[in-house]
Copies of this chain bind each other. A is one copy, B any other.
Amino acid sequence: MAYRVAVVGAAGYAGVELVRRIVEHPSFELSVITSDADAGSRLDAVYPAFTGVTDIVFSPHADPLLLDCDIAFLAVPHTASLAQTPALIDAGVTVIDLSADYRLKDPAVYEAWYGTPHTSPDLLARAAFGLPEIAADEIAAAAARHAAGQAVLVACAGCFPTATSLAAYPAVHAGLIEGVLNVQAISGVTGAGKKPTARTHFCAAAGNAEAYGVLKHRHTPEIEQILGLAGRVVFVPHLVPMRRGLLSTVTMQVPAEAASGMTPEAATALYKEFYAGRPFVQVLEGGAMPRTDSVAGSNRAQVGVTYHADTRTLIAVAAIDNLGKGAADQAVQCANIVCGLPETCGLTSLSLPV
């Protein structure tokens, strides 16, 4: 029997990617898609890729049918989830939240970075963080509660935190860092959202690379939280002319006492062991570095690692699709786990090789 599924904020880039995944998912049935701006329009009128595939029509965010669903994916801006999630949970709807509202464990950190108080700290305390390769315990606990009949809340990791943590966590976890974690990341333009702006105009974005949000990006505290590096993350995101794709390059200095015997091969072996058995993370060998294109349209991450002995610097690079592993696909992965399905369910399609 299929789960009845809603996507709130389905007209945005992450939302419509969720719609694609749910349409193709063997155990999910797309019941409601919402968009205030496009309410009343057919999905295929807004996204012609769905022509001939589905007749579904956008309803407003306040659609009461949401409360009849089993699972609601929330692909909405921050504060919108705060406004909607409690009622969904109360109605017994499991919420897979792609917004930032329930990611930061400490309400004070949320308020500091988002400039607004957290209005449901109780629910926050019960939310599971959605990054299964790293926070496996939290999502497993949520699955157990779901199996016991409870509606659960999963706060999926953001795109930069996902790639950055996949790149950094095995080394940080192994104690291979002292001082600051330097995070330099590159994102495609879908990361800036669907709203047309001066920055996302084709003629502004094509042919240009730039750093943005330097030291001010709201994914910073999330990275610090995942990695346990409060106040130790320097994060510089860059925007480049591609639609999908996110590359995070992390550099860290290995403490002298841990550097003995460290080599590029040893670092790679450490990562391979850490991700052994995880179907969505591949650690590349032989010094290979990942291409974002190799994971576009998928939930997969590819990670390359190397080490510079002279400066005791470990460098790891992770490539994901910001809309895939960085958003919609990871949300489906979390929903799969919560529902007791194989985590790969509906997520096995390959990237286009070219």
Which B residue's beta carbon lies closest to that of A291? Answer: B210
- B211, B288, B294: the one within 8 Å of A304 (CB): B211
CA distance A289 to B238 in the complex (A): 10
Collect the chain B residues with CB atoms within 8 Å of residue A292's CB.
207-210
CB <8 Å contact, A207 and B293: yes
Which of A17-69 touch B at CB < 8 Å?
17, 19-20, 23-24, 47-53
Complex Cα–Cα for A140 and B244 (A): 41
Is A270 an interface residue when CB atoms closer than 8 A count as contact?
A: no
> Are A350 and B203 closer than 8 Å at their CB atoms?
no
- Which of A87-95, A154-162, A168-176, A312-320 forms contacts with chain B? A312-320
Interface membership of A339, Cβ < 8 A: no
A284 to B319, CA, bound (A): 31
Contact with B along A305-330 (1 / 0, CB 8 A): 01010110101010100010000000
- Contact assessment for A215 and B354 in the assembled complex, using a CB-CB cutoff below 8 Å: no
Interface pair B350/A211, CB less than 8 Å apart: no
Residues on B with beta carbons closer than 8 Å to the beta carbon of A234: 251, 308, 311, 313, 315
| Cβ-based interface call for A247 (8 A) | yes
Please determine whether B289 and A51 come into contact, CB atoms closer than 8 angstroms: no
Task: Give the interface segment out of A74-82, A127-135, A183-191.
Answer: A183-191
Asked if A260 lies at the interface with its beta carbon under 8 angstroms from chain B, I say no
Smallest distance from the beta carbon of A127 to chain B beta carbons, Å?
A: 27
Contact of A210 with B249 at beta-carbon distance under 8 Å, contacts A241-B240, A284-B51 already known: no
Inter-chain contacts of A295 with B (CB < 8 A): 49
Q: Does A198 contact B (CB under 8 A)?
A: yes
Residue contact A208 to B352, C-beta cutoff 8 Å: no
A196: which B residues are within 8 A, CB to CB?
A: 196-198, 200-201
Is there a chain B Cβ closer than 8 Å to A165's Cβ? no
Contact of A231 among B204, B206, B287, B311 (CB under 8 A): B311
Cα distance, A207 to B279, chains bound together (Å): 24
Query: Shortest CB–CB separation between residue A347 and chain B, in angstroms?
Result: 12
Do the beta carbons of B203 and A194 come within 8 Å of each other?
Answer: yes
User: Which residue of chain B lies nearest to A205 when distances are taken between CB atoms in the complex?
Assistant: B202
| Cβ A241 vs Cβ B238 within 8 A | no
Q: Is A256 an interface residue (CB 8 A)?
A: no
Contact of A302 among B20, B48, B194, B202 (CB under 8 A): B48
Known A200-B196, A203-B200; contact A240-B240, beta-carbon cutoff 8 A: yes
Asked if A225 CB lies within 8 Å of chain B CBs, one says: no
A263 at the interface (CB under 8 A from B): no
Whether B180 and A210, one on each chain, are in contact in the complex, defined by CB atoms closer than 8 angstroms, is: no
Contacts of A16 in B (CB 8 A): 353-354
Given A208-B242, A238-B249, list of 7 further CB < 8 A pairs?
A: A19-B353, A20-B353, A180-B311, A186-B240, A206-B242, A211-B249, A323-B354
- Nearest 8 pairs between A and B by C-beta? A196-B196, A208-B293, A184-B184, A202-B205, A240-B240, A48-B294, A49-B351, A189-B202
Q: Can you pick out 29 interface pairs between chain A and chain B where the beta carbons lie within 8 Å of each other?
A: A17-B352, A19-B353, A24-B350, A47-B354, A49-B351, A49-B352, A52-B279, A180-B253, A182-B251, A188-B209, A189-B206, A190-B354, A196-B201, A202-B206, A208-B242, A208-B291, A209-B245, A209-B292, A210-B247, A211-B304, A211-B317, A214-B306, A231-B311, A232-B311, A234-B315, A236-B315, A240-B242, A244-B352, A323-B354
